[in-house]
Amino acid sequence: MNPDDEFSEFGEQLRRPLDVKLSEFQRNGRLKHLILASQLDSELLERLRRMADMIRHLSRTRQGNLRLKGLLAHRRAMLYFTQPSTRTFLSFMAACQILGVTCNEVRDAATSSESKRESRMDSIRMFSSYFDVIIMRTVIPCFSECCAFLMNRLESASMRSVPIINAGSGADEHPTQALLDMYTILRTFSEDYTQESKPSRFVAQQSGKPVEAGPGHKTYLFCGDLGRGRTVRSLASVLSQYEKVRMFFVSPDNDVLRMERKLLERLRNSGVECEEFHSLDATIDGRPILEEADCLYMTRIQREHNSSVDEQNQSEMNLADFRITPERTSRMRSWAPIMHPFPRDSVTGEIPVSIDADPRAMYFRQARNGMWARAALLVHMFDASEELMEIYSNRQFHQAT
Ligand code: NCD
């Protein structure tokens, strides 16, 4: 079936203004579904950060782990990932395991009844009969959003309905990656990590000149495939809510790879100072952009989306301008984390392994942060935050192992 026909019944709902849609994805001050990065406001991010910290802290002891495992042991999750994934899939699965959530998976539509011409919407509704949450990644941009509309429709008809979590929708959105990126940024630019952080953890304040706490008042440099990188789109949207944010977008000068015009306009309208460049060595007002950045967010070129024309164009590009090198990192601020959603491209080498030992290299910790942040998200969505806080504040068992 043509996907356009398949989702046409939701066309009108999809086209409504963002604020109307956002209110439908919330319930009683909590997320009912997580579909769009714009749902992650600063207050919610702070709440999730605190919960993620509690979970990581509790998981250091056997007793803490056992208590966490009981928290959502009565819940079941469906991981419907028909697009390749390593980190998002495994960290969601690990998050479920930490909280005692039982999970099952469909990773290839050919192994489901979609191969018998079942519509995708019927498959999703079927999952909702057996599971308590559907975590989904597909190549179709609007699919998870339509699933949330379907669940809301079922709920209004007093039928069974479960939360939908968008774990990557085509080249469009990746809100849970934005969540873990923000968790990493909040931790890096936080003031209160003295007693709980391990001495090796990189905290901006400890690495040179004091830098203003929090994500605001900072310059973020995004580099790579900004046109098709959904992680950049989602993170930039979330960061745009903070004060005095400047964003530098470094990509090849090419319609496919540079930042989408509409998104740039939206960011500018929300007060972000945006500048575009075509090399990491570019300057602004005579100063190298690398020296101005408080955070560097690298991405790979998403070759799987290439047409043969794109392939041809890219084979003629000099991608060296979009790679970091020890020489380039030596010019960066001592407090600027180097982030990447991963996977990195081992052939293009936008971040060579020689950078991994740099204390600012955040990407492996960023990936691990995804597990804690996604666990916190599940606790929040299943309304178990108070129970988590109770377990956390009742920590005599921390010393038990
Ligand atoms: C990203 C994705 O799938 O969008 N990976 C991830 O979820 N960590 C980035 C990418 O594939 O380049």
Cα–Cα distance, 117 to 124 (Å, whole number): 14
Q: Please report which confidence band the pLDDT of residue 396 belongs to, taking 50, 70 and 90 as the band edges.
A: low
From residue 122, alpha-carbon distances to 114, 129, 152, 154, 168 in Å are 9, 11, 15, 13, 20
Q: Tell me the per-residue pLDDT of 151-163, one tens digit each, with 9 for 90 and over.
A: 999 999 999 999 9
CA of 209 to the centre of ligand 1 (A): 32
Cis amide linkage into residue 343, ω under 30° from 0: yes
35 and 131 belong to one structural domain: yes
Pocket flag, ligand 1, residue 231 (CB < 6 Å): yes
Q: Tell whether 185 is covered by a domain.
A: no
When divided into structural domains, the chain yields a total of 2
**Whose Cα sits closest to atom 11 in ligand 1?**
343
Each residue's pLDDT tens digit, 200-252: 677 887 777 778 899 999 999 999 999 999 999 999 999 999 999 999 999 99
Q: Are residues 42 and 87 in the same domain?
A: yes
Quick one: pLDDT band at residue 192, thresholds 50, 70, 90? low
Q: Based on the domain organization, do 113 and 79 belong to the same domain?
A: yes
- Whole-model pTM: value is 0.95
pLDDT at res. 199: 54
Residue 196 lies in a domain: no
Whether 294 maps to a domain, the answer reads yes
**pLDDT (mean) for 319-348:** 96
Residue 231 CA, ligand 1 centroid: distance in Å:
7
Please report the pLDDT score of residue 211 as a whole number: 85
Q: What is the pLDDT of residue 111?
A: 80
Cα 300 to ligand 1 centroid, rounded to whole Å = 9
Report how far ligand 1's centroid is from the alpha carbon of 232 (Å). 10
pLDDT at 327 over 80: yes
Q: Are residues 61 and 157 in the same domain?
A: yes
Residue ranges making up the domain that contains 32: 3-173+368-393
Mean pLDDT of 104-125: 87
Is the same domain home to 349 and 376?
no
165 and 284 part of one domain: no
Whether 398 is in a domain gets the answer: no
**Residue to mutate, 88, 91, 231, 344, ligand 1, most ligand atoms under 8 Å from C-beta:** 231
Q: Report which of 323, 298, 301 is spatially closest to residue 181, judged by C-alpha positions.
A: 298
Residue 114 has what pLDDT?
77
Is residue 174 lining ligand 1, measured as CB closer than 6 Å? Answer: yes
| 273: β partners | 246
Write out pLDDT tens, residues 293-312: 999 999 999 998 899 999 99
Residues 6 or more apart in contact with residue 184 via CB below 8 angstroms: 337, 339, 362, 365, 366, 369
Q: Can you tell me the distance from the alpha carbon of 253 to that of 127, in angstroms, rounded to the nearest whole number?
A: 43
For residues 161 and 142, what is the distance between their CA atoms, to the nearest angstrom? 19
Residue 67: Cβ within 10 Å count: 21
- Is 189 a member of any domain? no
Report the residue among 342, 348, 351, 366 best suited for mutation to probe ligand 1: largest number of ligand atoms under 8 A from its CB.
Answer: 342
Nearest CA to ligand 1 atom 8: 341
- Mean residue pLDDT across the chain: 93
230 C-beta closer than 6 A to ligand 1: yes
**In CATH, what number is assigned to the domain containing residue 115?**
3.40.50.1370
Average pLDDT over residues 38-43: 97
168 lines ligand 1 (CB under 6 A): yes
Same domain, yes or no: 247 and 331: yes
Q: Is the CB of 88 under 6 A from ligand 1?
A: yes
DSSP per-residue letters across 93-147 = HHHHHHHT-EEEEE--GGGSGGGGT--HHHHHHHHHHH-SEEEEEES-TTHHHHH
Of 86, 88, 234, the residue with max ligand 1 atoms within 8 A of its CB, to mutate for a pocket test, comes to: 88
Look at residue 286 and tell me if it is in a domain.
yes
Does residue 149 sit in the same domain as residue 282? no
Beta bridge partners of 295: 220
Q: Do 298 and 168 belong to one domain?
A: no
Mean of pLDDT values over 43-53: 97
Whole-angstrom CA distances from 363 to 111, 319, 357 are: 33, 21, 11
The pLDDT score that the predictor gives to residue 98 is 98
| 300 ligand 1 Cβ < 6 A | yes
Count CB atoms within 10 A of the CB of residue 265. 11
Do residues 230 and 275 both lie within one domain?
A: yes
DSSP 8-state assignment for residue 204 = G
Task: Tell me whether residue 193 is in a domain.
Answer: no
pLDDT band at 115; cut points 50, 70, 90: confident
Q: Is 87 in the pocket of ligand 1 (CB under 6 A)?
A: yes
| Position 290 pLDDT exceeds 60 | yes
pLDDT for position 195: 45
Atom nearest to 137 CA in ligand 1 = 3
The pLDDT assigned to 401 comes to: 46
Atom of ligand 1 nearest to the CA of 167: 7
Residues 20 and 94 occupy one common structural domain? yes
Region 34-43 average pLDDT: 97
Whether 47 and 159 map to the same domain: the answer is: yes
Does the residue 114 lie in any domain? yes
Query: Could you give the count of Cα atoms lying within 13 Å of 284 in the half-sphere of its Cβ?
Result: 20
Residue 327's alpha-carbon distances to 209, 324, 368, 374, in angstroms, are: 21, 8, 28, 35
